[in-house]
Amino acid sequence: MKSKVVMELSKLRGLSRREKRLIFSAWLLMLGLRLSLWLNPSQTIHRIQRRSAFRHNVVHFPVYQLLWAIQFSSFFVPRATCLAQGLAAKVMLSRFGYDSKLHLGVAKEDEHFEAHAWLTHHGQVILGDVG
């Protein structure tokens, strides 16, 4: 039986060079944000939330593909929580010209509350189930 890491990595074979670069970029972003959250969480969150400038990259990816890259790369980043994924997705979407909003709140898990982060785009939740 293959390990989960090997199975996830095997998914890369069928991807185009452009998609592989996107995943690598998402992984670097996730890793950097995870480290920033560990060193100075409140400053990292405030800095990302204040950013509103959009850059339009030459290569265009649809929102779902950017989110997929973040979620895929988060498998390879230790403690890639919903907050780390939400911040990384917000930055990644902004880089490609998409507006999004990060929400911080709580979710009820098995009779207790836990911190939770989710991302919306045009009023729809696109990352971090709030169900």
Q: What percent of the chain has pLDDT over 90?
A: 37
Cα separations (Å) of 13 from 6, 9, 10, 24, 75? 12, 8, 6, 14, 17
Residue 102's SS3 state is strand
Please spell the DSSP secondary structure of 48-81, one letter per residue.
Answer: HHH-----B-SS---HHHHHHHHHHHHTTSTT--
pLDDT in tens, 32-81: 888 888 888 787 777 776 665 556 665 689 999 999 999 999 988 988 99
Going by pLDDT thresholds of 50, 70 and 90, the confidence category of residue 26 is very high
Q: Of 9, 21, 105, 119, whose CA–CA distance to 64 is shortest?
A: 119
pLDDT at position 125 is 93
Predicted TM-score of the model (pTM): 0.79
11 falls in which pLDDT band (50, 70, 90)? Answer: confident
Q: Distance (Å, rounded) from C-alpha 117 to C-alpha 87?
A: 9
Q: What single-letter amino acid sits at 98?
A: Y
Burial 52-67 (b: 16+ CB within 10 A, else e): eeeeeeeeebebeebb
